[in-house]
């Protein structure tokens, strides 16, 4: 495999909420790179700043300091808004599909609306495209006409992935996509993500579920209190963690995955 | 702790919801398992498989949702819970049977301090000493540090893990014989999850409380429970001691096992279960898993849902072709 091109760079990004004595620095001086077609993971506990960083990468939250580069261009320029041309290249899937889908719209309308916004095509054409996207996510025409509350958790999450794909993005940012769904639905979603990777999409997976991170990503960043405490190849980090925090995190996983880490920790 | 003596016996239980025109929608049928004194039992299954409904039947809150037990027996210490009145329920619910509901984050009353919260739970049971000291003891029991500070705080000031501990403390106020924890760690971090599991294990060990742990995480249940109950479409499809469940005897358990992320190779084959679970109450004749099953035969598609084989307490499966599993 030839050396991949760098797609996105996060350079010394900090995010501060509030000011003065009550200021909270959610992300502190974090840097990461995302290569073309690569799956990376950001892992950490609640409050570690991983979602904030994801929001910065998606252009939803301007950084207080530092820069985000997309194919070399700084995406937050001057007025701190995301450069329009690249805006839809990075799409996000949120944790709770029930909260992020419009309860009034069926899956087809929700996705077709996004297609129209991103590609400026007519109604018929957008619905056709939406059906294709939903089909690719394993949602048939019958289910596509259902509203979110009539769908299962896994189906809802796949509708929101289809919606994210409607912009034809190069990067998919998934913030805890599997934490609200069943184990079997999770397996289904991960299979779809593998397919998307094969099609050349880059994926940033933000999760506290280390099983999911290990399964899907090639490189991982471990985040704690707004700082990356460890990063590297997912295999290396899982088999030979250097930081105590990472070791503790690994030992907490139930089942086979955590067993080895727990044994090591006891020594 | 009295080992191997039945505390709870769920015997062929069916639960229905009343709909219009006197029509009843059956959401659970053929639920079968038992819980011994001091035993930790895990119930796993997809959303909608009836896990939570069974729990509601055990604590008698089905009626509030327009549902009721329409068949079988729910025996708690030999007493059929179907036959008792509300007055009797009040002596059981929250006292002999504790319940930790699913949404821990929304669980505690937001306008009560933790002290008042616990006092409310404690006021329902007899005890000696001041309310404050008894509340403190409870918080100690669930390993909350800085007890004095926490007592004065409101739920919003606590983290998810702490709130869940408070909920467990409330449920333990009356030293119940059975504690039901309905997905107690959903939405919590792995590190917090492992702490809560450790806590449940300690409660079981130190107080001898029997625990029913509901989860859809097979890896988790596998690790902490003595016995596993697998539910699919309202029925118990497999039940057995955790050690024997390593060789599952129902295709649904096999499928659940193969979708486990912790044993999968990175990027490797991750088997998914075909289709979706059947809609609640809309079941075809025969085995309710047949449509999604790799082992399906002609006889699976007719008659009643297969009954569990063997005797209670043993490894039981509700598959007609359990002997073929792993051989195709």
Residue A82: pLDDT band by 50, 70, 90 thresholds? low
Residue of B nearest to A235 (CA): B266
pLDDT, tens digit, 9 for 90 and up, residues A89-135: 889 998 887 788 888 999 999 999 999 988 888 889 999 999 999 99
Residue of A nearest to B46 (CA): A182
Strand duo A39-43 + A219-224: pairing: parallel
Is residue A229 in a domain? no
Is residue A39 in a domain? no
Q: Do A191 and B159 touch (CB under 8 A)?
A: no
| C-alpha dihedral sign at A24, A28, A33, A37 | negative
| Overall average pLDDT of the A137-162 stretch | 88
User: Which residues does chain B have within 8 Å of residue A249's beta carbon, measured at their own beta carbons?
Assistant: 190-191
- Non-local (6+) Cβ contacts of B215 within 8 A are B42, B43, B44, B183, B185, B221
- Taken in order of first residue, the domains within chain B and their CATH numbers are 6-96+174-324 (3.40.50.300)
User: Which residues does chain A have within 8 Å of residue B271's beta carbon, measured at their own beta carbons?
Assistant: 187
User: Which residues does chain B have within 8 Å of residue A257's beta carbon, measured at their own beta carbons?
Assistant: 219, 262-263
Rounding to the nearest 10 degrees, give the CA dihedral for residues A224, A227, A232, A233: 50
pLDDT, tens digit, 9 for 90 and up, residues A201-251: 999 999 888 888 999 999 999 999 999 999 999 999 998 999 999 998 888
pLDDT of residue B1: 45
Residue A13: pLDDT band by 50, 70, 90 thresholds? very high
Half-sphere exposure of A94 (CA within 13 A, CB side): 10
Beta pairing partners, B8: B35, B76
Quote the radius of gyration of chain B (alpha carbons, Å): 20
Is residue A104 in a domain? yes
Strand, coil or helix: what is B54?
helix
Own/partner long-range contacts of A244-251 (Cβ < 8 Å, ≥24 apart): A246/A222, A248/B191, A249/A43, A249/A45, A249/A210, A249/A222, A249/B190, A249/B191, A250/A210, A251/B194
| Alpha carbons B233 and B224: distance in angstroms, whole number | 24
| Alpha carbons B75 and B9: distance in angstroms, whole number | 5
Q: Is the pLDDT of residue B211 over 50?
A: yes
Q: Is the pLDDT of residue B53 over 60?
A: yes
**Domain enclosing residue A163, as ranges:** 97-168
| Alpha carbons A239 and A224: distance in angstroms, whole number | 19
pLDDT of residue B225: 93
| Alpha carbons B252 and B322: distance in angstroms, whole number | 11
Interface A-B, measured as beta-carbon pairs within 8 A, has a size of: 107
Strand, coil or helix: what is B7?
strand
Count other C-beta atoms under 10 Å from residue A167's C-beta. 17
3-state class percentages of chain A: helix first, strand second, coil last, to nearest 5 = 45, 25, 30
Q: Is the pLDDT of residue A81 over 70?
A: no
| Alpha carbons A176 and A253: distance in angstroms, whole number | 16
pTM: 0.83
Strand, coil or helix: what is A26?
strand
| Overall average pLDDT of the B277-291 stretch | 82
Q: Which of B189, B196, B200, B289 to mutate to test the interface with A (most CBs of A within 10 A)?
A: B189
Is residue A224 in a domain? no
User: Which residues does chain B have within 8 Å of residue A194's beta carbon, measured at their own beta carbons?
Assistant: 267
Contact yes or no for B132/B115 (Cβ under 8 A): yes
Residue with token string 């985000």: A68
Q: Is the pLDDT of residue B127 over 80?
A: no
End-to-end CA distance of chain B: 43
pLDDT, tens digit, 9 for 90 and up, residues B72-91: 999 999 889 888 888 898 88
| Alpha carbons B56 and B38: distance in angstroms, whole number | 20
Q: Do B187 and A188 touch (CB under 8 A)?
A: no
Is residue A227 in a domain? no
Is the CB of residue B42 less than 8 Å away from at least one CB of chain A? no
pLDDT, tens digit, 9 for 90 and up, residues B167-189: 888 888 888 999 999 888 877 78
Q: How many domains does chain A have?
A: 1
Q: Which of B40, B164, B190 to mutate to test the interface with A (most CBs of A within 10 A)?
A: B190
Phi, psi dihedrals of residue B251, rounded to the nearest 5°: -55, -30
| Overall average pLDDT of the A173-183 stretch | 84
Interface predicted TM-score (ipTM): 0.73
Contact yes or no for B252/B272 (Cβ under 8 A): no
Q: Which residues of A touch B (CB under 8 A)?
A: 45-47, 152-153, 155, 179-180, 182-188, 190-191, 194, 208-212, 214-216, 234-235, 248-249, 251-258
């Amino acid at each position: 495999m030839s050396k991949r091109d760098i797609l996105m760079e996060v350079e010394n990004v900090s995010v501060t909420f509030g000011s003065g004595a009550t200021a909270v620095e959610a992300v502190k001086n974090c840097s990461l790179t995302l290569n073309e077609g690569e799956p990376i993971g950001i892992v950490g506990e609640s409050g570690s700043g991983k979602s904030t960083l994801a929001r910065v990468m998606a252009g939803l939250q301007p950084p207080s300091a530092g820069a985000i580069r997309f194919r070399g261009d700084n995406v937050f320029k001057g007025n701190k808004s995301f450069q329009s041309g690249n805006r839809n290249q990075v799409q996000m899937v949120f944790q709770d599909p029930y909260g992020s889908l419009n309860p009034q719209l069926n899956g087809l309308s929700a996705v077709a609306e996004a297609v129209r916004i991103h590609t400026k095509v007519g109604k018929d054409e957008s619905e056709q495209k939406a059906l294709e996207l939903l089909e690719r996510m394993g949602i048939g025409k019958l289910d596509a006409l259902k509203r979110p509350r009539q769908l299962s958790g896994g189906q809802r999450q796949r509708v929101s992935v289809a919606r994210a794909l409607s912009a034809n993005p190069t990067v998919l940012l998934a913030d805890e996509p599997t934490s609200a769904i069943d184990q079997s639905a999770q397996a289904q979603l991960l299979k779809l993500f593998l397919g998307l990777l094969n099609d050349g999409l880059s994926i940033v997976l933000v999760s506290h579920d280390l099983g999911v991170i290990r399964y899907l990503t090639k490189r991982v960043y471990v985040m704690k209190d707004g700082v990356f405490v460890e990063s590297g190849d997912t295999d290396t980090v899982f088999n030979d963690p250097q930081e105590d925090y990472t070791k503790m995190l690994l030992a907490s996983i139930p089942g086979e995955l955590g067993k080895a880490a727990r044994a090591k920790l006891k020594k | 702790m009295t080992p191997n003596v039945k505390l709870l016996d769920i015997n062929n239980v069916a639960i229905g919801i009343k709909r219009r025109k006197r029509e009843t929608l059956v959401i659970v049928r053929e639920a079968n398992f038992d819980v011994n004194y001091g035993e930790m039992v895990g119930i796993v299954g997809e959303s909608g498989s009836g896990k939570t409904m069974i729990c509601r039947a055990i604590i008698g809150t089905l009626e509030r949702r327009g549902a009721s037990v329409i068949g079988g027996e729910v025996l708690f210490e030999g007493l059929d819970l179907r036959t008792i009145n509300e007055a009797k329920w009040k002596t059981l619910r929250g006292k002999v049977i504790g319940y930790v509901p699913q949404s821990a984050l929304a669980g505690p009353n937001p306008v009560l301090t933790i002290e008042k919260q616990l006092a409310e739970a404690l006021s329902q049971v007899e005890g000696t000493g001041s309310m404050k000291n008894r509340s403190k003891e409870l918080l100690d029991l669930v390993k909350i540090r800085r007890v004095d500070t926490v007592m004065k705080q409101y739920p919003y000031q606590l983290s998810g893990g702490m709130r869940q501990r408070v909920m467990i403390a409330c449920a333990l106020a009356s030293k119940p014989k059975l504690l039901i924890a309905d997905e107690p760690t959903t939405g919590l971090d792995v590190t917090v999850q492992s702490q809560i599991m450790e806590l449940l294990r300690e409660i079981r060990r130190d107080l001898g409380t029997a625990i029913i742990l509901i989860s859809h995480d097979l890896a988790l249940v596998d690790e902490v429970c003595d016995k596993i109950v697998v539910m699919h479409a309202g029925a118990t499809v497999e039940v057995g001691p955790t050690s024997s469940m390593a060789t599952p005897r129902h295709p649904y358990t096999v499928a659940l096992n193969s979708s486990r992320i912790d044993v999968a190779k990175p990027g490797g084959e991750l088997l998914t279960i075909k289709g979706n679970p059947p809609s609640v109450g809309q079941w075809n004749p025969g085995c309710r898993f047949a449509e999604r099953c790799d082992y399906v035969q002609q006889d699976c598609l007719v008659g009643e849902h297969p009954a569990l084989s063997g005797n209670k307490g043993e490894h039981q499966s509700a598959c007609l072709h359990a002997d073929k599993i792993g051989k195709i």
